[in-house]
Amino acid sequence: MAMQLVKKTPEYSIFKRGDNRYAVTDANKKPVNGDDKVRVLVAQGLIKVSAPAPQEAPAAAETAPEDTAAEPAAEAAAVETPDEDEVQ
């Protein structure tokens, strides 16, 4: 299935692909990708972008096990072990 032209501006051509996604090409017929593509599609009102969900909870959960793992290591280091010279 061929791509259908959705909108053409002097700077960009926007096509709808067979899988209902968009392709953007610049005035030189080169593909536009990444943040530039998103910016063009949002400016033309073809897509809406939402902010990513805050990830503070997983970050807090990751730091907690590290802190507890450090405590037994500190206790083990505090225990004195006899030197080899003292054992004989």
Is residue 22 assigned to a domain? Answer: yes
Q: Which residue has the tokens 């392709």?
A: 23
Is residue 84 assigned to a domain? Answer: no
Q: Which of 43, 9, 48 is nearest to 26 (CA)?
A: 9
The yes-or-no verdict on residue 60 having pLDDT over 90 is: no
Q: Are 38 and 49 in contact (CB under 8 A)?
A: yes
pLDDT (tens digit per residue) in 14-43: 999 999 999 999 999 999 999 999 999 999
Q: Which domain holds residue 28?
A: 4-43
Q: How many domains does the chain have?
A: 1
Is residue 60 assigned to a domain? Answer: no
Is residue 10 assigned to a domain? Answer: yes
pLDDT of residue 12: 95
Q: Are 40 and 25 in contact (CB under 8 A)?
A: no
Tell me the longest C-alpha to C-alpha distance in the chain. Answer: 88
pTM: 0.56
What are the helix and strand counts (H, E) for the chain? 3, 4
Going by pLDDT thresholds of 50, 70 and 90, the confidence category of residue 82 is low
Is residue 29 assigned to a domain? Answer: yes
Going by pLDDT thresholds of 50, 70 and 90, the confidence category of residue 2 is confident
Is residue 9 assigned to a domain? Answer: yes
